[in-house]
Amino acid sequence: MPMLQVQLGGQRNYPIVIQPGGLDQLGAWAQKRVAGRTAFIITHPRLFRLYGPRAADSLKKSHFTVHTHCVPEGEKTKSLQQLESIIGVMLKKRMDRRTVIVALGGGVVGDLSGLVAATFMRGVDFIQVPTTLLAQVDSSVGGKVAVNHALGKNMIGAFYQPRLVLIDPAVLATLSARQFRAGLAEVIKSAVIADKVFFTYLEKNMAKILQKQMPVLTETIRRTCSIKANVVSQDEKEHGLRAILNYGHTLGHALEAYHHYRTYLHGEAVAIGMVAAALLAHMEGMGDKKIVLRQKKLIYQAGLPIQGKNESVEKLLNYMKVDKKSQEGKLNFVLTPQIGHARISNKLTPFSVRRAINCVVKGFAAEDI
Ligand SMILES: NC(=O)c1ccc[n+]([C@@H]2O[C@H](COP(=O)([O-])OP(=O)(O)OC[C@H]3O[C@@H](n4cnc5c(N)ncnc54)[C@H](O)[C@@H]3O)[C@@H](O)[C@H]2O)c1
Ligand SMILES: [Zn+2]
């Protein structure tokens, strides 16, 4: 069974267990990782019907008392009101500092539950059981937890690490094809920024991944998590290196915001953002055209968009300037001079940024540049 470690030093290290069928081992793993024996599962009604009983039974077998709380699906659930309401439920149930929060869901459940864990009585233990591909390869690892503010996404949050991440790739069987493909954008991103061999593996195996063939899917999740675990272990709070995980995100976030989060899923916007970043690196003389084309092809093979919907470049640039990842008004771009290597640049000329974005939102081919 593949197992990785996020290394933050001593007590704060935690395992990422990746195992098809692993949901039934939740109790056994939790027992080893946390002291309390009261579990509070936070999930969505639909996910509760699909996977709640198995998660709860497994915890009960390992002598946990289990409570479950369902929140509505969708980004709106990441709110201060939800946070307060969940904490109200926990207080009414007389839960205490030894309660263990179990996030059973995608990034929405994970981010919200993590902030509940970080703030309930100044912090209780937290277990991530991610059920979307995006959550399995990205949001459940690394301890960024947050809710949204009316003025911006993830503006109220914390770095709060889980005690355990338990990934069961088999639960992806019920995930929609669109959500699954969106998660693949983060997989491709990780390979582009950090692992050339993995990128080639993805080129060879994309068809099997899309069919959700278990050995290949498990290996894909393992390799992506390993990249994230490595980066987070070196730079937990994004003082430097961790920012490379934002490859494709500068434009990606702007595209999401431009359409008020209604048009693109996060991964779809990131996919377009990666094509723009690849093109930009090439325009800046950092890499040859082949690197752009390989990325574009793999993104396309994954069933993700490689061009925008003719958005206004000036408006997108404005969104990019207010993104919390921009620093003192300068645009931060992660660029990849080669597959497997990333570097952060804030010295780009507005001219080439405009040109690259223009090409990508209008769907000009990289070959035409
Ligand atoms: N903390 C981080 O580091 C980080 C990183 C990336 C994204 N995020 C956050 O993650 C969120 C997006 O997460 P997401 O893409 O997982 O979306 P999501 O949590 O909204 O899940 C997408 C949909 O899939 C459904 N679903 C989940 N698992 C399922 C399964 N196994 N079978 C069937 N349906 C299933 C959910 O009910 C939901 O409707 C955003 O809020 C984003 O800000 C956080
Ligand atoms: Zn992302």
Q: What is the pTM of this model?
A: 0.96
Query: Residue 329 above 70 pLDDT?
Result: no
Domain 3-171 in CATH 3.40.50.1970? The answer is: yes
At residue 157 the predicted structure's pLDDT band, cuts being 50, 70 and 90, is very high
Which ligand 1 atom is the nearest neighbour of the CA of 50? Answer: 32
DSSP annotation of 331 reads P
Phi/psi for 42 (5° steps) reads: -110, 130
The mean pLDDT value of the chain amounts to 94
348/195: higher pLDDT: 195
- Taking alpha carbons only, the member of 273, 280, 278 closest to residue 308 is 273
At residue 368 the predicted structure's pLDDT band, cuts being 50, 70 and 90, is low
d(CA 295, CA 89): 47
d(CA 341, CA 349): 21
Q: Which CATH number fits domain 177-368: 2.120.10.30, 1.20.1090.10, 3.30.300.30, 3.10.129.10?
A: 1.20.1090.10
Query: Residue 137 above 90 pLDDT?
Result: yes
Q: Is the CB of 47 under 6 A from ligand 1?
A: yes
The two structure tokens encoding residue 132? 């979307």
Q: What is the pLDDT of residues 27-63, one digit of tens each?
A: 999 999 999 999 999 999 999 999 999 999 999 999 9
Query: Residue 367 above 60 pLDDT?
Result: no
Helix extents (H) in the chain: 26-33, 45-61, 80-92, 107-119, 133-134, 177-194, 196-210, 214-234, 249-258, 266-283, 289-301, 313-322, 350-362
pLDDT value of position 159? 97
pLDDT value of position 350? 78
Look at strands 341-345 and 152-159 and give their pairing: unpaired
At residue 7 the predicted structure's pLDDT band, cuts being 50, 70 and 90, is very high
Residue whose tokens read 């990782």:
33
Q: Is the CB of 46 under 6 A from ligand 1?
A: yes
94 as an active site residue: the answer is no
Residue to mutate, 82, 179, 245, ligand 1, most ligand atoms under 8 Å from C-beta: 179
- Residue spans of the domains in the chain: they are 3-171, 177-368
The two structure tokens encoding residue 210? 């899309």
246 as an active site residue: the answer is yes
CA-to-CA separations, 337 to 130, 192, 195, 283, 334, in angstroms, rounded: 32, 10, 13, 11, 10
Å from CA of 270 to ligand 2 middle: 7
d(CA 97, CA 36): 8
Contacts 24+ apart (CB under 8 A), 170-174: 170/20, 170/21, 170/22, 170/23, 170/214, 171/23, 171/50, 171/51, 171/131, 172/131, 172/132, 172/133, 172/136, 172/212, 172/217, 173/212, 174/50
Which ligand 1 atom is the nearest neighbour of the CA of 114? Answer: 1
249 as an active site residue: the answer is yes
Rounded mean pLDDT of 101-121? 98
295/350: higher pLDDT: 295
CB neighbourhood size of 179 (10 A): 15
In percent, the amount of the chain with pLDDT more than 70 equals 96
